[in-house]
Structure 1
Amino acid sequence: MHKKANGIVPVMLTPFTKDDRIDWDGLERLVEWYVDNGADTLFAVCQSSEMQRLTLDERTELARRTVAFAAGRLPVIASGHISDAPDDQREELRAMAGTGIDALVLVTNHLDPAQAGTEAFRAGLDAALGWLPGDLPLGLYECPAPFRRLLSDDEFKLCRDSGRFVTLKDVSCDLGTVRRRIAMSGDSGFAVVNANAAIAADAMRAGSLGFSGVFTNFHPDLYAWLYRNKDLDSDLRRRLETFLALAAMAEPMGYPGLAKLYHVRRGTFASAHSRVIDFDIPERFWGVMALLDHIETGTEAFRAEIAAADGASATT
């Protein structure tokens, strides 16, 4: 049951063609980019994937193809449900469970859609567990849309004690909460993976088992180096922490379309079309393309500096 589903966990984009179909060739190249750039686990079918705008058939095919493209090199996890109605959730979860993913991720706001509290969450959780194979590893995702539904400590312990859960994408964005959850997790195998760039390094040092924020779509390898070197007493590590936190402040400027623009520039796929972002990003956010230039330049500069530092360490 304790399958690895942590480390650097990119929240995957869904490439589309200009005529609004999923670009499967682009998805294959994107998976290769994640593999080549330090990913440990792939999170397909999440908010960055625009899952709320995908049909069930598209979501399940997205998961299946990601598993096929990963070809056993990395575990693949995927969100199981976007609906509130129990019958719809049951259909969605069972369909996603059959795609070959390594862990199925339950979305907390759909386990308690009325925001009624712990007893409602418990009922939603019990129903979901009853619909799914008992040997399928599970995750939890405090997805911000349509609303952010954080776990209480009691709910966290409930999930931990079930023995079913291997990972939590923590969206509390609060270091104290992350630390408390890590302590509660103990040696249970229920990994807490922070998703907030501003506290990424501190959360890693506190015991967060990786990172799963949106800028894993720009430079997952830099987060991977930081994760491996989180305790290193060096100017490089400190400057990298600052760069990663500041770069991630671009998220409100049209993400996930912004990340798609980045990948179009890099040739990963051909179109920045998004079902979520229905406006011209540079027109709305003046100077955003220059900001992307700075992010790309900074990313390449840190990659070169890290390569030199790692090379020097290998020869001493």
Structure 2
Amino acid sequence: MRKEIVAGVYPTMLTPFKADLSIDFDAVERLIEWYIKKGIDGLFAVCQSSAMFELSKRERKELCQKTVEITDGRYPVMASGHVSDVLEDQAADLNDMADAGADALVLVSNRLAAPWEDDRIWMRNLEKLIQMLPEDIPLGFYECPYPYKRLLSTEIIKELVVSGRFEFVKDTCCSPTLITERAELVQGTSLKFFNANAATLLHSLKAGYSGYSGIMTNFHTDLYYKLCSSWKEMGDKAEELQNYLGNASTIECQFYPANARYSLIKEGIFSNLLSRRQDARLRQITESEKMEIDQFYAVSKQMSAIFSEKNQ
């Protein structure tokens, strides 16, 4: 039985590595249990944060399978692994995730057409791809910024709603105006939008978005869980928490995901900063950047104490 994709917080999972750059599945288990302890509603595995573009086909499937096994039905697991260029290979990518036990398959919006190709070509390719996927599994979309960002147009979103196959969109538009328009388009439908942008999170929740799925869950998941699950009851405190989360999210511009790996070392989850990303191999996180994360980490702990359930 596949678990339902419910509203809430879906961390974009990082992938820890051993010294030989193989996946450290012991650390994967620690990471999943840490997410759960902090408060989540599901997991987004084999995504860009997971280094899906740097993993082999076998590793992507194994990572999804291990995530499903460790989660053991406690939470829904969405997975992408949608990295190939040719449609038949894309279908193989996604079918691997389905075979590994994912509860939903997340397609990457930039895989279906080149930057210069229009929505007609994009839709034609989507229709072909869907024909090669299992009919009994929900689908989603991720507006992944790599290798280029392709936002879903209004017309495309309408088509996704009509199809009835789609239940999840990870939104990276970062635009309050567009967020409001998108929320209206999917109101009363099975398609849920999850914001990846911290600064606009409370605005999106008020507009009708279903939650958060972004990289800042790798720093302080609990604060996102608090806002997404309790913003209606929090009153002015919701704005106070939003102000912190929006400001804190500027750490994304530092050196992600190395900074998140360093933060998770402080949590006792990761054992090293090793990554397969080329930029992370060419330069190390600096001592000054580590100090910034140390200070960021301390303030996040203070905010977690302030906004913990027992104090609110």
Alpha-carbon offset, residue 90 of structure 1: 2.4
Amino acid of the residue matched to residue 311 of structure 1? K
Alpha-carbon offset, residue 197 of structure 1: 0.9
Structure-to-structure mapping, 1:42-191, within 5 angstroms: 42-191=43-192
CA distance in 1, matches of 2:6, 2:16: 23
1:197 corresponds in structure 2 to: 198
Amino acid of the residue matched to residue 110 of structure 2? N
CA distance in 2, matches of 1:2, 1:126: 25
Work out the percentage of aligned pairs sharing the same amino acid: 38
Secondary structure of 2:199's counterpart equals: helix
Alpha-carbon offset, residue 278 of structure 1: 1.7
CA distance in 2, matches of 1:185, 1:47: 25
Alpha-carbon offset, residue 2 of structure 1: 9.4
State whether residues 254 and 281 of structure 1, in contact with CA within 8 Å, keep that contact through their aligned partners in structure 2. Answer: no
Alpha-carbon offset, residue 279 of structure 1: 3.5
Amino acid of the residue matched to residue 177 of structure 2? G
Secondary structure of 1:229's counterpart equals: helix
CA distance in 1, matches of 2:77, 2:269: 20
CA distance in 2, matches of 1:311, 1:85: 51
Amino acid of the residue matched to residue 278 of structure 1? R
| CA 233–14 in structure 1, closer or farther in 2 if over 3 Å, else same | closer
CA distance in 1, matches of 2:311, 2:11: 29
Kindly provide the CA deviation profile for residues 171-190 of structure 1, in whole angstroms up to 9, marking residues without a partner as x. Answer: 11111111111111121110
1:207 corresponds in structure 2 to: 208
State whether residues 79 and 107 of structure 1, in contact with CA within 8 Å, keep that contact through their aligned partners in structure 2. Answer: yes
CA distance in 2, matches of 1:62, 1:145: 20
Alpha-carbon offset, residue 280 of structure 1: 3.7
State whether residues 178 and 192 of structure 1, in contact with CA within 8 Å, keep that contact through their aligned partners in structure 2. Answer: no
| CA 203–103 in structure 1, closer or farther in 2 if over 3 Å, else same | same
State whether residues 12 and 45 of structure 1, in contact with CA within 8 Å, keep that contact through their aligned partners in structure 2. Answer: yes
| CA 142–167 in structure 1, closer or farther in 2 if over 3 Å, else same | same
Q: Is 1:223 matched up with 2:224?
A: yes
CA distance in 1, matches of 2:208, 2:141: 18
Unaligned runs of 5+ in 2: none
1:292 corresponds in structure 2 to: 293
Amino acid of the residue matched to residue 285 of structure 2? P
2:310 corresponds in structure 1 to: 311
| CA 102–114 in structure 1, closer or farther in 2 if over 3 Å, else same | same
1:3 corresponds in structure 2 to: 4
Structure-to-structure mapping, 1:246-257, within 5 angstroms: 246-257=247-258
Q: Is 1:282 matched up with 2:261?
A: no
| CA 119–248 in structure 1, closer or farther in 2 if over 3 Å, else same | same
Kindly provide the CA deviation profile for residues 16-65 of structure 1, in whole angstroms up to 9, marking residues without a partner as x. Answer: 11221100000000000111111111000111111110111110111000
1:266 corresponds in structure 2 to: 267
State whether residues 143 and 172 of structure 2, in contact with CA within 8 Å, keep that contact through their aligned partners in structure 1. Answer: yes
Amino acid of the residue matched to residue 157 of structure 2? F
State whether residues 150 and 171 of structure 1, in contact with CA within 8 Å, keep that contact through their aligned partners in structure 2. Answer: yes
Amino acid of the residue matched to residue 254 of structure 1? F
Kindly provide the CA deviation profile for residues 48-102 of structure 1, in whole angstroms up to 9, marking residues without a partner as x. Answer: 1111101111101110000001111110001141011123212212222211100
Amino acid of the residue matched to residue 302 of structure 2? A
Amino acid of the residue matched to residue 31 of structure 1? I
CA distance in 1, matches of 2:253, 2:303: 24
Secondary structure of 1:196's counterpart equals: coil
CA distance in 2, matches of 1:201, 1:123: 35
CA distance in 1, matches of 2:192, 2:223: 21
Amino acid of the residue matched to residue 228 of structure 1? S
CA distance in 2, matches of 1:68, 1:108: 28
Kindly provide the CA deviation profile for residues 133-191 of structure 1, in whole angstroms up to 9, marking residues without a partner as x. Answer: 11111111100000001011000111111000011000111111111111111211100
1:38 corresponds in structure 2 to: 39
| CA 115–94 in structure 1, closer or farther in 2 if over 3 Å, else same | farther
State whether residues 109 and 143 of structure 2, in contact with CA within 8 Å, keep that contact through their aligned partners in structure 1. Answer: yes
Q: For the aligned residues, what is the CA RMSD? A: 1.7
State whether residues 258 and 281 of structure 1, in contact with CA within 8 Å, keep that contact through their aligned partners in structure 2. Answer: no
State whether residues 258 and 285 of structure 2, in contact with CA within 8 Å, keep that contact through their aligned partners in structure 1. Answer: no
